[in-house]
Amino acid sequence: MSTDLELGAPGVAATFDLAAAWTLHPQVAVRPERFGALLYHFGTRTLSFLKSPQLLSVVQQLADQPSARAACLAAGIAPADLPAYQQALTRLADSDMIQPRKPAASST
């Protein structure tokens, strides 16, 4: 036995739709840490890291916001920083940590 930190393999990068509604995968658990958070997917048994508290805040807002862009803005992300967060969310989507969600009826 060993000290495994077997990280999720990066998938093929696809364009992440900031206008779509997203949510955390139901089999993913989140553990906040000083640097951000750990995510663990019980289905794929992979671990991922959120390297900043801001990104954690974005991920936590996803389910309650009509779009990923709205979640970023609600988490206080400056519009100029959106591309970086889009990239981060792309990786989370590729590793199944987050998944598309049907938008709420009240969404714009």
Partner 1 sequence: MSATLPLVEQFQYGLDAPICLTWELTYACNLACVHCLSSSGRRDPDELSTAECKAVIDELERMQVFYVNIGGGEPTVRPDFWELLDYAGQHHVGVKFSTNGIKIDQRAARRLAANDYVDVQLSLDGATAEVNDAVRGAGSYDTALRAMTNLAEAGFTGFKISVVITRHNVSQLDEFKQLADRFDAQLRLTRLRPAGRGADTWSELHPSQAQQRQLYDWLVGHGEQVLTGDSFFHLAAFDGNALPGLNLCGAGRVVCLIDPVGDVYACPFAIHENFLAGNVRAEGGFSQVWRGSELFAELRRPQTGGACNSCSAFDACRGGCMAAKFFTGLPLDGPDPECVKGHGERALAGLDQAASPKPSLDHSHRGRAAVPLTIGRRAPGTISPPPDVRPPVSACAQSPLAGLTS
Q: Which residues bind partner 1 (CB under 8 A)?
A: 1-10, 29, 31, 33-36, 38, 40, 42-43, 45, 47-52, 54-55, 77-78, 81, 84, 87-89, 91-92
d(CA 18, CA 20): 6
Nearer to partner 1, 41 or 70 (CB): 41
| Residue 52 C-beta: closest distance to partner 1, Å | 5
Q: Are the CB atoms for 25 and 97 separated by under 8 Å?
A: yes
Cα distance between the two ends of the chain:
51
Nearer to partner 1, 51 or 100 (CB): 51
